[in-house]
Amino acid sequence: MEYLKKHINNIVSLNEEEWDVLKNGIQEISCAKGDLILAEGNECDFIGIIKTGLFRFYTIKEGNEKTNEFWFPMDYFSDYRSYLTNIPSNFNIEAMRPGTMWKLKRTYMYKLYEESVNFNKLGRIVSEQLFLKKALRLDGFLKDSPKERYLQLLIKDPNILQAVPQYMIASYLGITPESLSRIRKRI
């Protein structure tokens, strides 16, 4: 928990009393490879931070998995649309490696907003980070080639190829597995 405290204090300086209040609402959860953190059709009522591991955000359309996002250590994650609107999610969140996450429920976060300006600031910055991750992903699809998107993914996690099947990486990049094979051969 000290690691999380240091991370949060880099975002907003919480005094010990504020940290104790925040800490009381945080669950630390261990996940095995393949664990579903969120299943499609359920409401996403939390924001998480990955301590260790690798997680993916995906849906199934016409029998095919479509990977929308990968999350790495110290990434914030959620189905933020479901979180904000209280509607069921159209996505799944799955642990791709054994790992640990911290989870903060929406009801507790909203309670914190009422308690201090620092909690409001923390919530705003976390929501900005979630937005920026989505915006950067969209920008990548608009301006980067599949090869460039692949190289950026490898920068985030050089070992992702050992943890994630090629078809999931291809889906994330918006290409076929065969196109991914060609890109990998050229590199």
Paired strand residues for 59: 66
Q: Which of 99, 36, 60, 176 is nearest to 68 (CA)?
A: 60
Q: Is 145 helix (H, G, I), strand (E, B) or coil?
A: coil
pLDDT at 1: 84
Measured CA to CA, the distance from residue 186 to residue 173 in angstroms comes to 16
77 and 19 in a common domain: yes
pLDDT of 161 reads: 87
Same domain? For 151 and 134 the reply is: no
Residue 82 has pLDDT above 90, yes or no: yes
Please check whether residues 149 and 131 belong to one and the same domain.
Answer: no
Report d(CA 116, CA 113) in Å as an integer.
6
Which of 161 and 124 is assigned the larger pLDDT?
124
Q: Name the least confident of 92-106, 109-123, 151-165.
A: 151-165
Q: What local confidence, expressed as pLDDT, does residue 104 receive? A: 97
pLDDT of residue 123: 94
- Single-letter amino acid code for the residue at 37: I
What would the two tokens of residue 63 be? 């029998």
Supply the pTM of this predicted model: 0.90
What is the percentage of the chain residues whose pLDDT exceeds 70?
A: 100
96 and 148 fall within a common domain: no
pLDDT at 185: 93
Beta bridge partners of 88: 43
Question: Are 84 and 153 part of one and the same domain?
Answer: no
Please determine, for residue 92, whether its predicted confidence score (pLDDT) is greater than 90. Answer: yes
Q: Within 13 Å and on the Cβ side, how many CA atoms surround 163?
A: 22
């664990």: which residue's tokens? 35
Domain match, 110 and 77 both: yes
Mean pLDDT of 57-67: 94
Task: Count up the domains in the chain and report the number.
Answer: 2
